[in-house]
Structure formats: structure tokens, C-alpha cells
Amino acid sequence: MREKRVISGGYNGSVSHDIHCIDQGCYVVDGHCIRTVHAEANALLQCAKFGVETDGADIYVTHFPCLPCTKLLIQSGIHKLYYLKDYRNHPYAIELLERAGVETEKITVPTDFFKQIESVYADTPYD
């Protein structure tokens, strides 16, 4: 998000033109799937691809980012990180964010939030 506009989005997925884990299963090496690009990286790379500035932007993620993604976010000039769930929060990632002055905020949504969205869409006439 920059100046209250959504500039990019991303989710965990395979590299463009590769097969998808959901079709062929994960490509696991040392206990990790090596096929996927993380949502954070995908969001940043989409900005790079289309020439959208990330400096000073805020990012909303579902899970606290992994260490490599944390580095990418800092280097991209992300100003604030909003996240929904703690996920193996790496102490070094937390330290790097603090040192870089990136604010982090854990946010919550009401438990029935997604149900509410569903009902909004269910009531919306599309045609």
C-alpha cells in the first residue's frame, strides 16, 4: 500500500511457467518445498516488473515473514509491516526490522470476518 492505494498483491506460488504444487505435489528438499516463491517476494517482484515504487509502502501479510522475505522487505524500503499471525518469528528477522526502523503491527480481524465478506458477495448482484 502506498498513499492509501493497493499497489501490488501476492500469494505463495510456483515460478511463472513452472508446474504447480497443487497439481504435481511439492518439490521437497531438506523438508522445504523449493518450488514456491513466497507471497511477499511475489508482491515485491510484481512491483519490480511493472515499475511500481515500493519505497515507503506498507505491506499486509497473513503470516509473519520468514527471514529471507524480511530481508527483501527491508531492502525494498517497506515502511510498515502489518501481519495477522505469528509464524516461527525469527529473532534475527525481528532484530533486522527493528534496526531498519520498520514498524510492525499484529492486527486482528473478527472471527466471522470472512463469513461477513462471503455474505456481502452472496448479496451482490453481478448482472
Active-site residue numbers? Answer: 40
Q: Which residue has the cell 455474505?
A: 119
d(CA 89, CA 4): 27
Query: In the bound complex, what is the minimum distance in angstroms from residue 40's beta carbon to Zn ion?
Result: 5
Q: Give bridge partners of residue 56 from the DSSP assignment.
A: none
d(CA 29, CA 27): 7
Segment contacting Zn ion by CB under 5 A, of 5-13, 56-64, 66-74, 78-86 = 66-74
Q: How many residues bind Zn ion (CB under 5 A)?
A: 7
C-alpha cell belonging to residue 127: 448482472
Query: In the bound complex, what is the minimum distance in angstroms from residue 50's beta carbon to Zn ion?
Result: 21
**Of the candidates 84, 82, 83, 74, the residue with the CA atom closest to the CA atom of residue 54:** 74
For residues 26-45, which are near Zn ion according to CB under 5 A? 26, 33, 35, 38
Do 73 and 40 form a contact (C-beta atoms < 8 A)? yes
Does 69 interact with Zn ion (rule: CB under 5 A)? yes
DSSP class of residue 29 equals E
Which of 35, 59 has the CB closer to Zn ion?
A: 35
Segment contacting Zn ion by CB under 5 A, of 19-27, 43-51, 53-61, 117-125 = 19-27
Which of 44, 57 has the CB closer to Zn ion?
A: 44
